[in-house]
């Protein structure tokens, strides 16, 4: 378990060995820290199904994440399961997490986080 912002996440797990839960939730993409057993979040994402095939490798930022960590064996994943949640609930949780944690990969700016009640397209 790891706490990011005010949420508890399972993991982090090495990306190539990760067995995703069959649940909706939040996903933290992480890199190893400078000290042993420390990690830093690069990005947070939401998913309707964390077990979706190739969820990480199909992501538009996957190559950038690998560029930061060097190899997929240095990429770690942590998950916060939110089974039975709606897309709006996951979006609200993601926005709150971004305000609390501020990962270095996704800057918090007015354009990055839409006003409350409006969803930003993720295409």
- Copy the structure tokens of residue 7: 């949420």
pLDDT tens digit at each of 123 positions of the chain: 888 878 889 889 998 998 888 988 999 999 988 787 788 888 888 888 888 878 888 888 888 888 888 999 999 999 999 888 888 999 999 888 888 876 555 443 444 444 444 444 444
Q: Tell me the pTM.
A: 0.76
The number of CA neighbours under 13 Å toward the Cβ of 74 is 16
């Amino acid at each position: 378990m790891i706490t990011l912002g005010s949420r508890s996440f399972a993991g982090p797990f090495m990306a190539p060995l990760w067995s995703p839960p069959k649940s909706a939730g939040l996903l933290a993409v992480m890199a190893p820290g400078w000290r042993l057993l420390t990690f830093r979040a690069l990005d947070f994402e939401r998913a309707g199904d964390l077990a979706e095939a190739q969820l990480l490798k199909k992501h538009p930022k996957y190559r950038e994440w690998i560029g930061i960590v060097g190899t997929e064996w240095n990429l770690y994943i942590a998950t916060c399961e939110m089974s039975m949640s709606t897309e709006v609930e996951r979006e609200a949780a993601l926005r709150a997490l971004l305000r609390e944690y501020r990962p270095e990969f996704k800057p918090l700016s007015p354009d990055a986080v839409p006003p409350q009640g409006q969803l930003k397209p993720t295409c």
